Amino acid sequence: RVCVCVCRDRPVWTRITREAWISSGVFGLSRPIQEFGLARFRSNQVKSMKGLEHALSNLQSKSSVHKTRKSSYSHDSVQDKAHLMIKTLKMQ
C-alpha cells in the first residue's frame, strides 16, 4: 500500500509511506516464502523510487520551461506537482 500526502510539518514536502504485508500458510515453507517476499519488495522498492524520481524530475523540468524567472520550488508548484502525482497514481 502506498500513501502519498502533504507533510504536516513542511507543507512544501510530499510524504510517501509504503507498507507491505507478506505472509504464508504453507507448512514448513512459510519462513522462506516470507523472506523471499521481503527481498523482492526491497528490490522492487529501489526500482520504484528511481521511477518516481525520474517522473518528478520530468514534471519539474516541464514546469520550469513554462515559468519565467520565478523559482520552480515555490509552494504552489510543489503542491500542484504533488496533486498531479496523486491523480496519476489513482488513474493507474
Q: Would you state the pLDDT for residue 36?
A: 92
Task: Give the pLDDT of the chain (92 residues) as one tens digit per residue.
Answer: 888 888 889 888 888 888 888 888 888 899 999 999 999 988 888 898 888 888 888 887 776 655 544 444 455 566 676 666 666 666 55
Structural domain includes residue 38: yes
Which letter, b or e, does each residue of 31-58 get, where b requires 16 or more Cβ atoms within 10 Å of its Cβ?
A: eeeeeeeeeeeeeeeeeeeeeeeeebee
Residue 74 belongs to a domain: no
Question: In the 8-state DSSP scheme, what is residue 41?
Answer: H
Position 11 in a domain: no
Structural domain boundaries, residue 43: 23-65
Let me know if residue 2 belongs to a domain. Answer: no
Q: Are 3 and 16 in contact (CB under 8 A)?
A: yes
Q: What is the pLDDT of residue 78?
A: 64
The predicted model scores a pTM of 0.51
Question: For the chain, what is the domain count?
Answer: 1
Residue 55 lies in a domain: yes
